[in-house]
Amino acid sequence: MLKKNCSLNKRQHSASLDERRHPAGIKDRRLPAGIALFLLILFTFACRQEMYDQKKYKPLASSNLFDDGGSSRQLIQGTVSRSEDHNATQTQQFPAPVTAAVMERGKERFNIYCTPCHDYLGTGNGMIVQRGFRPPPSFHIDRLRQAPVSHFYDVMTNGFGAMPSYADKVSPSDRWAIIAYIRALQFSQNAPASLLAEQDKKQLESITK
């Protein structure tokens, strides 16, 4: 009987010591941590660079493939370029006369594509800005009033800051029409009183008195 009790006490003491060394909570936490570590190592091996380090030649790079040492071939005679007019981003003037029809087209395109961010007056408080998106600058600040027309064309073509490129949505001619309408908006909010008709001048004076 005494031997049984001694044996039982030893087993209990051994179990108690094992629990103190390896608490159940630690055991439970080790399994998920081990699985997470295994998955992390597995995903690391999946990060391969074949697409980044692919075998290719950049335009006009040298190559041993052809006898002339070049990687690019001469274009076929009569090939027509389909790229953008890069000179448009450098010009200081409109490429064509700004007519009433152009202005009306610009207003229509502006209301479709630009007002969600810029609003109808171009102050930068469009509907999506009111919902928390980053606001664009107002068209009526001095920097944009003095900016050349090529600046607006370049931004619409290539994007700038938070604004993406609209080259796939707005044709080059429509971009110029929108710029003409932006200029009209800028003038409408910054027109000198000296250009007003006499009747409008009197009305303005009556308001400011």
Locate the domains of the chain by residue range.
97-195
pTM exceeds 0.85:
no
HSE-CB of 194 using CA atoms within 13 angstroms: 0
pLDDT at 2 over 80: no
**Beta carbons of 154 and 86 less than 8 angstroms apart:** no
Q: Token pair of 162, please?
A: 């938070």
pLDDT tens-digit map of 124-174: 999 999 999 999 999 999 999 999 999 999 999 999 988 999 999 999 999
Instruction: Name the DSSP letter for residue 138.
Output: P
Q: Which of 114, 131, 113 is nearest to 123 (CA)?
A: 114
- What rounded mean pLDDT belongs to the chain? 82
Tens digits of residue pLDDT in 180-193: 999 999 999 988 87
3-state secondary structure of 62: strand
CA 151 to chain centre: 18
CATH for 97-195, options being 1.10.760.10, 3.40.50.970, 3.40.225.10, 3.30.70.20 = 1.10.760.10
Reference 115, options 128, 129, 131, 126; nearest CA is: 126
Query: Residue 28 pLDDT more than 70?
Result: no
Contacts of 156 (CB under 8 A, 6+ apart): 165, 166, 167, 170, 175, 178, 179
Tokens of 205: 């004076």
Determine if residue 122 is left, alpha or beta; phi over 0 gives left, psi from -120 to 50 gives alpha, anything else beta.
Answer: left
